[in-house]
Every structure is written in structure tokens, then in C-alpha cells.
Amino acid sequence: MAAELVILGEYRPDFPPHAATRAAITHSCAALGLEISFTWVSTAHVDEPLLRRCRGLWVAPGSPYKDLERTLRAIRFAREHFIPCLGTCGGFQHMILEYARNVLGYRDARHAEYDPYGSNLFVTLLACSLAGREMELRFVADSLVASCYGATGAVERYYCNFGVAPDRVATIGSGALRIVGSDAEGEVRAVELPGHPFFVGTLYVPQARSTPGKPHPLVTKFLETVACPRD
């Protein structure tokens, strides 16, 4: 049976962001009156036939993933074939890496979690861990992300230790990928790709703040886009 939504990552039932991901989908589907089936797929097993069948891709928290290259190929496929794609926490980091390699042309772009001594790091260890913290965010007013929230600010929760390398922020911002969310220190916390039905990455974990009475608006918009018919 073809999956409506593929959640890409190494599923661990005892990992809070993974439990929150499942719950947030339930919350948003109930609010939308939709039934969207979803399947967790290990990065070691994702392949093009599966991606061609799916209606959406959620690159979940929980890196390092088993297969970095397959993960990047999946993100690239979703980006190039206009498949709705949401990357949260580790998913955000890998969206940055895929974009650096395949759009900006930095084929040697690296992620410090896999290669801490890499010569061209686009994702590096944060100066201060964000794991377990909640922080205020500001969004670009005309962005898709801001429109999902209906606001230019929010408080969100983090589980990460890695983010965009400070010396690569300008490089990432030089292409079509928009930096649309930042924290009080101006650090990159959300990106989106204009012209794509839904290609959004957040370093924070929006699903962690979803509740049955208040589904998370970003997850809800993502699933609404997944459910839309595609040519």
C-alpha cells in the first residue's frame, strides 16, 4: 500500500520528539477532518520508488541518521519533484546540507555530527546546546511560515545541539532558500523555499507544542498541503 506520508528517520518510541510527531499528526488530521496514513522509514531503506509513491516527506529529529547520503537524496527528490517536505531539528540540518551541496554547488559541504573535522562545515556544534529549551522566535512577515502561524513571533521548543555554521549564514541566504525565522540572537532557526508547495525546515521541534485542543499550525499547514491533489 502506498504511503500518504513518509516520516524519514530512525524511529525510537522512547524519544519524545518521535512520540510528539505521531501525536501532532493525529491532532492536525482531526482538526482538518482528514485521514492521512503515515509510515516511518529508516534512512537506510528510503529509495526512489517509495518517494515517487508518497504524498509528503517529513524528515524527523533524531540524527545522526543511519544513511546520510540516502537522506540527502530523499530531500533532493522532494525539493526537485515538488513533494511537500518538512524538516524538523535534524531534518532542518540536513535540508541545509542538501541545499549547500546540490544547489549552491558546495559538493564538499559537511555536517559536524558526521565529520567534526570537515574542512567545509555548513552545520556545526552550537556554542550552547538548545536541547530542552524553549525560546522566542521572530519570522519574516511575508513568509509562508509566518502565514501558518498568523503571527511574526512564537515560542518553540528545541532538542538540538547542531545548527547552521555562523560563517555560512550569508552563503545559505545567497540562494533561493529563504531564512525566515531567527531567535533573539539572530541565529537561523527556520528556512523555506519559495515556489515550492511546502519546503520548510525548522531547527526547533514544532510538534512538541502540539495538543489536541491546539494543533500546531505549521504541522497543520504541512498536512493540508500533503492532502492537496498533485498533477
Calculate what percentage of the chain has a pLDDT beyond 70: 98
Instruction: Report pLDDT for 231.
Output: 65
* Alpha carbon 217 to chain centroid, angstroms: 15
Q: What is the pLDDT along the chain (231 residues), one digit of tens a residue?
A: 346 999 999 999 999 999 999 999 999 999 999 999 999 999 999 999 999 999 999 999 999 999 999 999 999 999 999 999 999 999 999 999 999 999 999 999 999 999 999 989 999 999 888 888 899 999 999 999 999 999 999 999 999 999 999 999 999 999 999 999 998 878 999 999 999 999 999 999 999 999 999 999 999 999 999 998 876
Instruction: Report pLDDT for 2.
Output: 47
Give the model confidence (pLDDT) of 42-51 as tens digits: 999 999 999 9
d(CA 92, CA 181): 12
Give the model confidence (pLDDT) of 162-209 as tens digits: 999 999 999 999 999 999 999 887 899 999 999 999 999 999 999 999
Instruction: Report pLDDT for 3.
Output: 60
Domains and CATH numbers, the chain: 5-227 (3.40.50.880)
Q: Which long-range contacts (CB under 8 A, 24 or more apart) does 26-32 make?
A: 26/212, 27/210, 27/211, 27/212, 27/214, 27/215, 27/216, 27/219, 28/210, 28/215, 28/216, 28/219, 28/220, 28/223, 29/223, 30/212, 30/215, 31/215, 31/220, 32/220, 32/223, 32/224, 32/227
